[in-house]
Amino acid sequence: MAKLSKQLTGRFIALFLFTGIFVALAFGQMGLFKTGEIPFPSQNILYVSEVSTDSNNFYGTLEQIAENDNLRLYRSVVDKGESKGFVFGQLPKTSKERWTKNSETLEALPLIGEYFIEGKMSQKSLDSLEKIKVKSVIAPTGWQGVVGDLFLGWTIRTTTFYMSLLLFAVTIYALKMAKVKKAMIARTLGVKVIAITVELLSLLFSFVCWSLLVIALSNYSGTMLLTSFIFLLAFILASVLLVYLFVQFLFWSFIRTSQISGILKNKIVNKPFNYLWLLIIALSIGTMTQVISQAKEEYDLAQNRQIALKKWEKISDFSKLDVKFSELMMNMPEQQQTKEEEEARKKALTAYVLGWQDFYDSFSDDDELFLERPDDIDFLQIDGETTPAEDFKNPGKIVDLQSKWIAKIWQVSPYVVKLSQELIEDNATIFTNNKAVTVYIPEKYRASQAEILPPITSHFVDSGLTEEDFEVKIISNDFKMFVPILSEITNREQLEVIAEDCVIAQYNVKKFPHNTKATWALSDNFQQGLYRQDKLPAAIKNSVVQGEILNFSNAFDILENYQKESTSQMKRAIFTSIALFVAQIVVLFEFVKLRLALKAQKICVSQLFGISPKIDYLKIFCLLVVAIFSGLAFAVYKGANLNMVLLSGTSYLLMVILVMLVAAYQFKKKRLSILKGEIL
């Protein structure tokens, strides 16, 4: 057993370190709860669509439910100008500044909307809501998505996770191959079952130790975050066990299909397994390079995002709406409707669109903002240079819109232009708001006004707007526009906070006719816009579309939390990469050692006769160089940055040279022992 313990020491250390890395990745993945995907720690959402009782009875019932079921209910409110979460039940012990029990904040909101549930609501509690004539439904928040996002996502966490699994596999395989002779003897003595059992127990023990340490240092206890964390750990542990068992299967397949005499005499046997090892090394190098490249991209984005946040501070008291999916707007009737049904649908659509216009109009120009990017030509599948549309001046007549102008037109609210003047240095003062639609055209496009205007005016055919409602203003070519769109900062692939060389269509909706044709094209903007949060509760409560607004969240808080989590994620990826890079050194060293040991007799005999073994060293070096370049080619194929690929390739070549020199020195020092049958 003493020999077995010594044999397992290296693998136990590897298991302990890698399980620590996997638990750290799980902890990092929990950051999804801080970035706005799920605004409150909750497993389910209570959607309240109708309340036929007074507010005191309704809120009192929710408080009683929280007490009876030992759960918490959260509702987004505004308390003293700040966006917070009202808590039914006991206040959480962490992040106390996020929560409030001030009941006055609820009075400013309608009773209907979203209530986030942390815990499990019993059927008895649902029945108690029904008794007071509350129509509601419970739906999951999708908190289990932390697992799907890690396993199927496109973030640096996902790439790091799979790289860790790959390197875990190749490290364990390398450490096993380093003890291949002892494993062969164990096979004949029946010790292998004991060894595998000890390794599995070591893996489980170290995984549990790391998990308990993270839980002890975190604030998860007593919240659903603990449930989510354990749920995530279970999936990661299952993946690690599957990888370990697969490696064990490969290793013992190698042992069973190799000749005992060949292994004991340090001869090259079972070449396919050696090349499989080399292939895994190549994949690990490629994946590592991809992670490093992603970390570099994330670093650049984080720097730009920090600059963007400085500008967003100006609108730090604006919130975004969470709006219910409208089947009325999206779904066309499957069957032909009667005239009465068609009229009813038309009436409902009119009430819906005009209700959103009224909601938007209830804010002053400086308390609301929306911005719509230029239409994506590829998304619209516009072929060629033009696309047909109805002529604003002559309804019924078709005109050709120039695609190049469609791709330059930004549709904005007046406050966006005012913010652009204020926040961006060297911007001229251009703002005017005398007409329903003001079109700002850069000086260099002055001569193209006749082509630029139709893509804008075509939205308002038969809307009641006339040519007198449009104004064109020529602006300097260097005018830049502030882009207050959440997705521009939380989208990893693009980050556009300042737009240049753009045509700006500014809509003063308060001057629009009160009809659906005038505002139909803008109804999405009303829902996706940002509103000053201290004005939101009253606006929602007094609006006919209050039932469509489920929740609201402070936009700046979402961005700030996203930036913090993104930066932390990047740092964890870098630290993990460093740890895994060290693991790769071990893997390469074991590979070189084994290859040298399998050529031991030939090299020693050559040295005794004064013949340099450089050719043998060169063959091993060339194998590793091929693996490096294959891995780098894989990284390039997966979209890695070329500069990072070159840097990574140089680092790996230097690593291989160093490993070769160290292994050659050890070999020269112990060549007599190797000739006796011992391995490096």
d(CA 189, CA 187): 5
270 pLDDT higher than 60:
no
Higher pLDDT, 42 or 363: 363
Of 567, 572, 563, 651, whose CA–CA distance to 158 is shortest? 572
Task: Say if residue 677's pLDDT is above 60.
Answer: no
Work out the average pLDDT over 461-475.
92
| Nearest in space to 368 (alpha carbons), one of 559, 509, 495 | 509
Residue 171 has which token pair? 């490290």
Q: Which residues are within 8 A (CB) of 467 and not within 5 positions of it... i.e. 6 or more apart?
A: 393
**Which of 60-69's residues contact partners 24+ apart within 8 Å by CB, and which partners?**
61/128, 61/129, 61/132, 61/134, 62/88, 62/115, 63/88, 63/89, 64/128, 65/121, 65/125, 65/128, 65/129, 66/90, 68/122, 68/124, 68/125, 69/119, 69/120, 69/121, 69/122, 69/125
Contacts of 178 (CB under 8 A, 6+ apart): 10, 590, 593, 594, 679
Query: Which pLDDT score is estimated for 562?
Result: 76
Helices H, strands E: what count in the chain?
A: 26, 19
Q: What's the mean pLDDT in 601-607?
A: 66
Rounded to an integer, the average pLDDT of 234-249 is 91
Gap between the Cα atoms of 651 and 584, Å rounded? 12
Does residue 211 have a pLDDT over 80?
yes
Mean pLDDT for 55-71 is 92
Which residues, at least 6 apart from 53, have a Cβ–Cβ distance to it below 8 Å?
A: 132, 133, 134
CA angle at 344 for the pair 343 and 347, rounded to the nearest 5°: 85
Q: Which amino acid is at 237?
A: L
Q: How far from the centroid of its chain's Cα atoms is residue 160's Cα?
A: 13
Average of per-residue pLDDT across 226-246: 91
Model pLDDT, residue 582: 75
Q: Region of 198 please: left (phi>0), alpha (psi -120 to 50) or beta.
A: alpha
Q: Each residue of 171-190: pLDDT tens digit?
A: 787 777 766 666 666 666 55
E strand intervals along 538-612 = 549-554
What are the angstrom distances between the C-alpha of 451 and each of 280, 380, 403, 506? 58, 19, 10, 18
599-614: average pLDDT:
67
- How high is the pLDDT of residue 339? 77
pLDDT at 679 over 70: no
Please give the pLDDT value at position 559. Answer: 81
- pLDDT tens column, 107-125: 878 888 889 998 889 999 9
* Mean local confidence (pLDDT), 508-525: 86
Residue 32 has phi, psi (to 5 degrees) of -60, -30
Tell me the average pLDDT of the chain: 81
As a whole number of angstroms, the distance between CA 14 and CA 174 comes to: 11
HEC assignment per residue over 165-195? HHHHHHHHHHHHHCCHHHHHHHHHHCCHHHH
Amino acid sitting at position 359:
F
Which pLDDT band, with edges at 50, 70 and 90, does 413 fall under?
A: very high
Say how far apart CA 442 and CA 448 lie, in whole Å.
Answer: 10
Mean pLDDT to the nearest integer, 354-380: 82
Which of 62-65's residues contact partners 24+ apart within 8 Å by CB, and which partners? 62/88, 62/115, 63/88, 63/89, 64/128, 65/121, 65/125, 65/128, 65/129
- Kindly calculate the radius of gyration of the chain based on its CA atoms and give it in whole angstroms: 33
Cβ-based neighbours of 576, under 8 Å, separated by 6 or more? 21, 24, 25, 160, 164
459 vs 269: which has the higher pLDDT:
459
Identify the CA nearest to 291 among candidates 33, 646, 639.
639
More confident: 94 or 470:
470
- The answer, yes or no, to whether residue 419 has pLDDT greater than 50, is yes
Q: Which residue has the higher pLDDT, 107 or 508?
A: 508
**Does pLDDT of 621 surpass 60?**
yes
* Residue 381, pLDDT above cutoff 60: no
- Out of 334-343, 471-480, 554-563, give the one with best mean pLDDT: 471-480
- Token pair of 334 as six digits: 């499957």
What pLDDT is attached to residue 224? Answer: 75
CA 323 vs. chain centroid, Å, equals 22
SS3 per-residue string spanning 8-65: HHHHHHHHHHHHHHHHHHHHHHHHHHHCCCCCCCCCEEEEEEEECCCHHHHHHHHHHH
Per-residue pLDDT band for 379 (boundaries 50, 70, 90) equals: very low
Average pLDDT rounded to a whole number, residues 350-369: 91
Q: Which amino acid is at 620?
A: I
Residues shown for the chain = 680
HSE at residue 207, side-chain half, CA atoms within 13 A, is 21
The SS3 of residue 525 is helix
More confident residue, 616 or 532: 532
Please state the rounded mean pLDDT for residues 649-657. Answer: 84
Is it the case that residue 60 has pLDDT exceeding 90?
yes
How buried is 610 (Cβ within 10 angstroms: 0-12 exposed, 13-18 middle, 19+ buried)? exposed
Q: What's the rounded mean pLDDT across residues 488-500?
A: 65
Residue 437: predicted pLDDT: 95
User: Which residue, 172, 197, 224, 174, is CA-closest to 33?
Assistant: 224
Tokens 């700046």 belong to residue: 556
Of 163-167, 274-278, 499-503, 555-559, the least confident: 274-278
For 250, left (φ over 0), alpha (ψ -120 to 50), or beta?
alpha
- Quick check: helix, strand or coil at residue 151? helix
Question: Is the Cβ–Cβ distance between 172 and 165 less than 8 Å?
Answer: no
What is the rounded distance in angstroms from the CA atom of residue 530 to the CA atom of residue 546?
A: 16
Q: What percent of the chain has pLDDT over 70?
A: 82
pLDDT at res. 128: 93
Which whole number is the average pLDDT over 223-245?
89
Mean pLDDT confidence for 63-86:
89
Residue 400 — φ and ψ, nearest 5°?
-95, 125
Q: What integer pLDDT is reported at residue 80 of this predicted model?
A: 79
* Nearest by Cα to 36 from 82, 80, 85: 85
In angstroms, rounded to a whole number, what is the distance separating the alpha carbons of residues 571 and 468? Answer: 56
Contact partners, residue 672, CB within 8 Å, separation at least 6: none
| Higher-confidence position of 332 and 238 | 238
Position with higher pLDDT, 440 vs 407:
440
Which residues face 86 on adjacent strands? 75, 100
Q: Structure tokens of 413? A: 């609210």
> Is the per-residue pLDDT at 465 higher than 50?
yes
Hey, which residues does 424 pair with through a beta bridge?
none
Summarize the confidence of residues 579-597 as an average pLDDT. Answer: 73
Tokens, residue 20: 């620590």
Least reliable range by pLDDT among 190-199, 250-259, 429-438, 610-619: 190-199
Domains and CATH numbers, the chain: 1-37+143-265 (no CATH), 39-142 (3.30.70), 365-532 (no CATH)
